[in-house]
Structure 1
Amino acid sequence: MARFGAFCFPGTGHLYPMTALARSLQLRGHEVVIFGIADTEATVRAAGIEFCQIGAEDYPPGTLKMLDEHLARLKGIAAFRFTLARIRNSTRMILRDGPQAVRLANVETLLVDEAEFAGNVADHLGLSWISIALLPPLLPDDRFPPFWFGWSAGQDRLSRFRNRLAIRFLLRIASPIFNEVNQQRIEWGLKPLTNPEDGLSPIAQITQLPQALEFEISGKNPVGLYYTGPFLHAQQRPPVDFPWERLDGRPIIYASMGTLQNGSESIFKTITDACAGLDAQLVISLGGGLDPARLGKLAGDPLVVRFVPQLEILKRASLVITHAGINTVLESLSEGVPMVAIPLANDQPGVAARLRARGACVVVSRHTLNLARLRKAVLLVLEDGKYREAAQVLQKTIQTLNGPDRAADLIEQVLHIRPTQLNP
């Protein structure tokens, strides 16, 4: 048996998969404690995972809602810069509070979300640690475009040169975070980070992205990178009240812009206008970002709610209109549902590009989004069976995967530990 500590970005898109992984480790007889701010405690404990609060001074209850509401109003580079600022502030707090919390929790190994920098705490304490990519993995490899960009993975010299420039650009923007980290590492007597790969675990990088959804790249995967599958335990999701009686039996178009960047009324209104008049019922999840009343009367009289029991509604959906957040994409593919993607910021363009490369979606840029383009995309995906066929090909692959169990296998293998029990 081992005792793990986990650090995770405080958003449901990170917490749900991390708690799913933690649950799989617990079922094998291991112990897991997740370190997080006050606003994440309820989600972690509801999943049956031990919780240890950090950042009480910086992140009192209610802080997360305020940060998420601000992010919901941002797009593109502004959203990316705000996200980097959040990561920088979180990193500063983790480097300050993390060592003592980890010591008191008496953990042996850390599992570190790649959106956090807690691997430096492990280095300081002399602990082993593993990188967990809940987004597409960070790849300092010019065969892959950084996932902040929505272009394809061409293997010609020009494409690889473009990828190198993009990696340098992102490193430059993120330099304040690395400066913060290196200042603390020097104080701890550790070698500063000099390359992107220095911020990844030297033991393993485990991603919930299935290999089948990654770009088809010539050559081997980067050393130490392991693709698994969606980190999902459906029973860990909190119950959501939903007016099932209002479904009218028509095919369902499900639209969600996620739980973070979901504050744009204009996007939701464009979606409703684009779907009006179709022989389908539009169901919109606002993700908590807006009050349904603010949208007023909408074309086509869609069913609009704050939250949807997403795993259940996807089983009935014919099409998903999405921001291309990785969890919504993976959950949609698990049900073989094709998509129209409107990536807004951060990792979403890269997720959408991978989905498009596999033929399971049409991508509509937020910069060119309008009624005509979105309606054309919706009709194309609904009427051309190749998109559903591509989604179902990915579904068949994903159904053979048990992402949390595969990740737990890998963690045990690379750390040379054995489970004390295996539960079905």
Structure 2
Amino acid sequence: MSRFLFVVPPLVGHLNPAVGVAGELARRGHDVAWAGYAEQIRQHAGADAVVFPCPIPEGGLRRTADLKGPAAFQFLWAEFLIPLADLMAPGVAAAIEAFEPDVVVADQQAVAGALVAERYGVPHVTSATTSAELVDPLATLPKVADWVRTRLGELRARIGDPAGTADPRFSPHGVLAFTTRELFGAAEPAHDRVHLVGPVISSRPSTSDFPWELLDPARPTVLVTLGTVNMDAGARFLREAVAALAASADRVQGIVLDPGHTLTDVPDGVLVRAHVPQLDLLGHVAAVVCHGGHNTVCESLWHGVPLVVAPIRDDQPIIAGQVVAAGAGVRVRFGRVTATQLAAAIDTVLDDTAGFRAAAEAVGRSFRAAAGVTAAADLLDHLAVRENIGISAD
């Protein structure tokens, strides 16, 4: 049996797929350990998970709400991902020395995993929980691309092998991309050895006391969620969403996720919750309104649920474009959409004649056929046996 070390950032959307793959490897008899934010990892991977703790930037992922495009991308790297890598590097090194993994599975945004593994000569595989960077989003922004390469080169000099040349976001041993052609599209990935294994949709613990008895089978249910890291930017959008759902309450039941408790004076007919058991709930909803986070998009499409996507920043505009291109939803402008426009978009995806549900169901079938957890674990199994295995693109 082999030993696998998972290195993850303190972002739930990046942790969930890794938890599924790690669980499958453990079921096969392999030893699994983690490096990252210990409290969060144990919450999702189990209290008995073997975790080598790594500190995280104070305050976590803090954003400036008005930054978009290249400015938001640079802010993310300069203010969070690069400092995160510096902070995580000692913990990752301690994990490699103590656990002696055969393979390191490094999240694409936890580049300390790739760089420290490189320094120790341990093969690593990239876990790409979003497909956005696989299409080279900086191809038309050469100055930003150069800026990123420079920052990663400086980081390598501090925590990695100064003689290394591989981009730590794209392992030469392979990239596990948790998507399929039906969502990613026909274009070839911009990097070698990318394998589209499909999303990892697996059960996870929930402490939500969701009032299931309030669901009305006579009306289609619409879920509105902006994920867990957009509370700073989402208050206006959530207010418009509540107004849109309240205006349609005679024919639609609305559920709005508000973890930041930003909503007040919510009208009757709209259910607002700080937390919901999202995977369980998706089996009961007819449409999802979201920010275009890869996890929420994939979980919705897995259940054949069409989407209204309002991307905010980072990878979300790319994922939103993929949803629209697949015919599985429509896109609205996050910062400008009104309640009237949002209600119209919801009506559009709920209209069976438009084909959105059929397209969503087709993407969902491709996800299940790709066998995400099994496919990813198979590839890691092979790499542990033969360090130089190539993972080819679909």
Q: Tell whether the structures are fold-level matches, with TM greater than 0.5.
A: yes
- Which letter does structure 2 place at the counterpart of 1:215? G
Q: TM-score, normalised by structure 1?
A: 0.82
String of CA shifts for 1:125-144, please: whole Å, max 9, x gaps: 111111111111633xxxx3
* Matched position secondary structure for 1:270: helix
- Which letter does structure 1 place at the counterpart of 2:53? Q
Q: Does 1:265 align with 2:240?
A: no
Q: Does 1:344 align with 2:318?
A: no
Who is 1:154 aligned against? none
Aligned CA distance change for structure 1 residues 54 and 242 (closer, same or farther; 3 Å): same
Whole-angstrom distance in 2 between the partners of 1:4 and 1:241:
35
Of 236-245 and 175-184, more deviation after overlay is shown by 175-184
Whole-angstrom distance in 2 between the partners of 1:315 and 1:252:
10
Aligned CA distance change for structure 1 residues 334 and 352 (closer, same or farther; 3 Å): same
Q: Does 1:382 align with 2:350?
A: yes
Correspondence for 2:285 among 317, 320, 323: 317
Who is 1:102 aligned against? 96
- Which letter does structure 2 place at the counterpart of 1:328? T
* Matched position secondary structure for 1:226: strand
Correspondence for 1:282 among 251, 254, 273: 254
Shift of 1:54: 2.1
Aligned CA distance change for structure 1 residues 200 and 310 (closer, same or farther; 3 Å): same
Correspondence for 1:83 among 76, 79, 85: 76
Shift of 1:45: 4.3
Who is 2:15 aligned against? 15
Who is 2:60 aligned against? 67
Shift of 1:51: 1.4
Whole-angstrom distance in 2 between the partners of 1:181 and 1:75:
24
Q: Does 1:326 align with 2:294?
A: yes
Of 270-279 and 307-316, more deviation after overlay is shown by 270-279
Unaligned runs of 5+ in 1: 147-162, 419-424
* 1:77-226 matched pairs, under 5 angstroms: 77=69, 79-84=72-77, 85-117=79-111, 118-136=113-131, 138-139=133-134, 144=135, 146=137, 164-166=139-141, 168-175=142-149, 177-184=151-158, 190-193=162-165, 197=167, 199-217=169-187, 222-226=191-195
* 1:360-371 matched pairs, under 5 angstroms: 360-371=328-339
CA contact (8 A) 1:112 1:131 kept: yes
Q: Does 1:392 align with 2:361?
A: yes
Q: Does 1:297 align with 2:265?
A: yes
Shift of 1:93: 1.5
- Which letter does structure 2 place at the counterpart of 1:91? A
Q: Does 1:233 align with 2:196?
A: no
Shift of 1:370: 2.1
| RMSD of aligned Cα (Å) | 2.5
Aligned CA distance change for structure 1 residues 103 and 198 (closer, same or farther; 3 Å): closer
Whole-angstrom distance in 2 between the partners of 1:213 and 1:28:
29
Who is 1:150 aligned against? none
Aligned CA distance change for structure 1 residues 189 and 406 (closer, same or farther; 3 Å): closer
String of CA shifts for 1:293-340, please: whole Å, max 9, x gaps: x41123453100101100111111111001111111111111100000
Whole-angstrom distance in 1 between the partners of 2:88 and 2:143:
25
Shift of 1:38: 3.8
Aligned CA distance change for structure 1 residues 18 and 337 (closer, same or farther; 3 Å): same
String of CA shifts for 1:110-166, please: whole Å, max 9, x gaps: 000011112111111111111111111633xxxx352xxxxxxxxxxxxxxxx6223
* Matched position secondary structure for 1:164: coil
CA contact (8 A) 2:174 2:195 kept: yes
CA contact (8 A) 1:74 1:261 kept: no
* Matched position secondary structure for 1:165: coil
Who is 1:308 aligned against? 276
Whole-angstrom distance in 2 between the partners of 1:8 and 1:226:
19
Shift of 1:104: 1.4
- Which letter does structure 1 place at the counterpart of 2:118? D
Q: TM-score, normalised by structure 2?
A: 0.88
* Matched position secondary structure for 1:93: helix
Aligned CA distance change for structure 1 residues 309 and 211 (closer, same or farther; 3 Å): same
Unaligned runs of 5+ in 2: 388-394
Whole-angstrom distance in 2 between the partners of 1:361 and 1:232:
20
- Which letter does structure 2 place at the counterpart of 1:164? A
Equivalent pairs counted in the alignment come to: 379
Whole-angstrom distance in 1 between the partners of 2:161 and 2:356:
54
Shift of 1:177: 3.3
Whole-angstrom distance in 1 between the partners of 2:290 and 2:67:
15
Who is 2:390 aligned against? none
Who is 1:356 aligned against? 324
Aligned CA distance change for structure 1 residues 52 and 347 (closer, same or farther; 3 Å): same
Whole-angstrom distance in 2 between the partners of 1:319 and 1:308:
15
Identical pairs, percent: 24
